[in-house]
């Protein structure tokens, strides 16, 4: 249960995770965080907004980035340093979101890795853009 | 159900939200996002790490920032443009996290507001730092 | 709160439990177990498979058998020894699954009961077949 | 998003998944399945039983086997044919359960794989034994 160490990571390495967003996801996310902004949990209100229907919390989509970093690339043992997020388009119930992370820089001195982090919906519309800085797991001592 | 418009927001405006983090929060967050990194859901593994016990997902803490922006300052009708996050310290089960947002700049031309976004635990250790850019709600047409 | 003891159980005794499967059930089951196989939580992927849509986890359906054994026949105080499962057909969101258990053998010496365990959908298609071995509750000491 | 095909699977291939069992897991599993056997959700009752405290549903532990089969070995595209389960020891809140699957036979004619499926707790006590039959994903047509 150890992810990739700095030596095992190359620029261009990628990983993907996808999930169809359900009402359950949005309601549970509201329930955990307390973000009961009506645009997420009030269809009557939401249909009068620019979005026309309830939308997912932007930070929930960012959670799929965390899934990739913590379980695939680099994986277990990573320490999350920094995450920048730009919310580009709304995510609606029934959308299938594909999150991607791609290694873009290896910061040898700091033992950090920089990754491009993006999310797209089923129509290939980008909904999230950003960058993560991760400290990958160290090799276990021998 | 409309938050503060640009004219109603002043530099220095603040809001706070606090929650004691439960195992439920972490397990449910893993369940939504698929982030089953063992540091979150495997105590046997986690106690052998630097953290000594299971920790919350950093992005979950960021969700409390979203709660403030979407329900208090500016509140409903806001559009989330950007969020930068620095993860400074771990959050453990039983920690009480206080999230704060504070308006630091009003970008009149873009009709955007910049806020400092922070989270502290019960010992006043800062666990999250960052900044948000929000487009506050427009005044309803008369 | 005690189920049926060996003396109170007869061959041919039956019990039934039924539930309409919701997206919530599937997403929550994935969230508990970590089984984010895309066939369960990615509609875009699932529609390209043999199943044409997201399906429930087979083991979730088996959970309805456990419900019957643990709450009805024999009921509280039972000890679950063995369960064999054959997955015969997919379970989709909106399907109403009826689980049935029927006593087929009483193993006096071991103080065990053998039950046929089946699940059918609303069209009477069998989705699950199997057998359970249960140690029913002992009579409370007098 | 395709798991290992028959040609890519060898006897002896293994995969593991581990999770610390929380009260949340047990309560949500009860909530999905309706298995409100008091031994799972009534501490007052449970402490008077042989188990001395609330225990997890055996079928929930079996869910971790499904996680491995559906996401790792063989992974996405697999079809679950059969699962035999023997419940050997109780699982309590706070136990860390490690599920393992290991390929023990390749049934070429049927295009099936047989795997040994086991779960152990943090003290290396085996809590579940069994076998799965899986139809691994077919290679995509060219």
Tell whether A18 lies on the interface with D, counting CB pairs under 8 A.
yes
User: Do residues B105 and B6 make contact, with C-beta atoms less than 8 angstroms apart?
Assistant: no
| Whole-number percent of chain A with pLDDT over 70 | 99
Provide the number of CB pairs (under 8 Å) joining chain C to chain D: 135
Is residue A29 over pLDDT 80?
A: yes
Q: For all residues of chain B together, what is the average pLDDT? A: 96
Is residue C141 over pLDDT 70?
A: no
DSSP symbols for D49-86: STTSS-B--HHHHHHHHHHHHHHTSS-TT-EEEEEEEE
Please report, for residues A138, B37, B39, the alpha-carbon distance to residue A5 in angstroms, rounded to integers and kept in the order given: 6, 16, 17
Is residue D51 over pLDDT 80?
A: yes
Tell whether D70 lies on the interface with C, counting CB pairs under 8 A.
yes
Q: Do the chains contact at C62 and D62, CB–CB below 8 Å?
A: yes
Q: Which pLDDT score, from 0 to 100, does residue A125 have? A: 98
pLDDT band at residue D139, thresholds of 50, 70 and 90?
confident
Question: Tokens 């707790």 sit at which residue?
Answer: D121
The candidate with the shortest Cα–Cα distance to A66, out of B126, B57, C33, C78, is: B57
| Whole-number percent of chain D with pLDDT over 70 | 99
Tell whether C80 lies on the interface with A, counting CB pairs under 8 A.
no
Q: Which pLDDT score, from 0 to 100, does residue B88 have? A: 98
> Who has greater pLDDT, B110 or B140?
B110
Q: Which pLDDT score, from 0 to 100, does residue D26 have? A: 98
> Who has greater pLDDT, B80 or A140?
B80
Q: Which pLDDT score, from 0 to 100, does residue C1 have? A: 77
User: Do residues A61 and A92 make contact, with C-beta atoms less than 8 angstroms apart?
Assistant: no
Min distance A106 CA to chain C CA atoms (Å): 30
Rounded Cα–Cα distance for residues A89 and A70 (Å)? 25
- Please tell me which residue of chain B has the smallest CA distance to D25: B27
Rounded Cα–Cα distance for residues B116 and B15 (Å)? 11
What domains appear along chain B, each with residue ranges and CATH number? 11-21+58-135 (3.10.129.10)
Q: Do the chains contact at B32 and A25, CB–CB below 8 Å?
A: yes
Q: Which pLDDT score, from 0 to 100, does residue B54 have? A: 98
Q: What is the number of helices (H) and of strands (E) in chain D? A: 4, 5
Is residue B141 over pLDDT 90?
A: no
User: Do residues B81 and B53 make contact, with C-beta atoms less than 8 angstroms apart?
Assistant: no
Q: Which pLDDT score, from 0 to 100, does residue A14 have? A: 98
| Whole-number percent of chain B with pLDDT over 70 | 99
pLDDT band at residue C142, thresholds of 50, 70 and 90?
low
Does the global pTM surpass 0.80? yes
Express each pLDDT in A71-94 by its tens digit: 999 999 999 999 999 999 999 999
- ipTM exceeds 0.85, yes or no: yes
Express each pLDDT in C13-46 by its tens digit: 999 999 999 999 999 999 999 999 999 999 999 9
The enclosing H or E element of B20 equals strand B14-20
Q: Do the chains contact at C42 and A122, CB–CB below 8 Å?
A: no
User: Chain B window 83-112: which residues touch C at a Cβ cutoff of 8 Å?
Assistant: none
Average pLDDT value for residue range D65-77: 97
Average pLDDT value for residue range A55-66: 98
Q: Which pLDDT score, from 0 to 100, does residue A140 have? A: 73
CB atoms within 10 A of CB D109: 5
- Residues of D in Cβ contact (< 8 Å) with A16: 1
Tell whether D47 lies on the interface with C, counting CB pairs under 8 A.
no
Rounded Cα–Cα distance for residues C69 and A93 (Å)? 36
User: Do residues B134 and B113 make contact, with C-beta atoms less than 8 angstroms apart?
Assistant: yes
Average pLDDT value for residue range C133-140: 90
Tally of residues, chain A: 142
Q: Which pLDDT score, from 0 to 100, does residue C139 have? A: 79
Q: Do the chains contact at B41 and D20, CB–CB below 8 Å?
A: yes
Q: Which pLDDT score, from 0 to 100, does residue A142 have? A: 58
Q: Which pLDDT score, from 0 to 100, does residue D141 have? A: 59
Tell whether D24 lies on the interface with A, counting CB pairs under 8 A.
no
Rounded Cα–Cα distance for residues C112 and C104 (Å)? 11
Q: Which pLDDT score, from 0 to 100, does residue A55 have? A: 98
Express each pLDDT in B5-37 by its tens digit: 999 999 999 999 999 999 999 999 999 999 999
- Please tell me which residue of chain C has the smallest CA distance to A121: C44
- Residues of B in Cβ contact (< 8 Å) with A40: 70
Average pLDDT value for residue range B40-66: 97
User: Do residues A82 and A113 make contact, with C-beta atoms less than 8 angstroms apart?
Assistant: no
Average pLDDT value for residue range D29-48: 96
Min distance D119 CA to chain C CA atoms (Å): 13
pLDDT band at residue B108, thresholds of 50, 70 and 90?
confident
Neighbours of chain A (3+ CB pairs under 8 A): B, C, D
């Amino acid at each position: 249960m150890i992810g990739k160490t700095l030596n095992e990571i190359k620029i261009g390495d990628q990983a993907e995770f996808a999930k169809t967003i359900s009402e359950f996801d949005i309601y549970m996310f509201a329930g955990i965080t307390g973000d009961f902004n009506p645009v997420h949990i009030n269809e009557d209100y939401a249909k009068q907004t620019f979005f026309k229907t309830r939308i997912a919390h932007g930070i929930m989509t960012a959670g799929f980035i965390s899934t990739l970093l913590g379980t695939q690339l680099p994986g277990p043992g990573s320490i999350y340093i920094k995450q920048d997020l730009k919310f580009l388009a709304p995510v609606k119930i029934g959308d299938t979101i594909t999150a991607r992370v791609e290694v873009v820089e290896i910061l040898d001195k700091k033992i950090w890795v920089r990754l491009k982090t993006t999310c797209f919906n089923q129509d290939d519309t980008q909904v999230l853009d950003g960058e993560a800085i991760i400290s990958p797991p160290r090799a276990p001592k021998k």
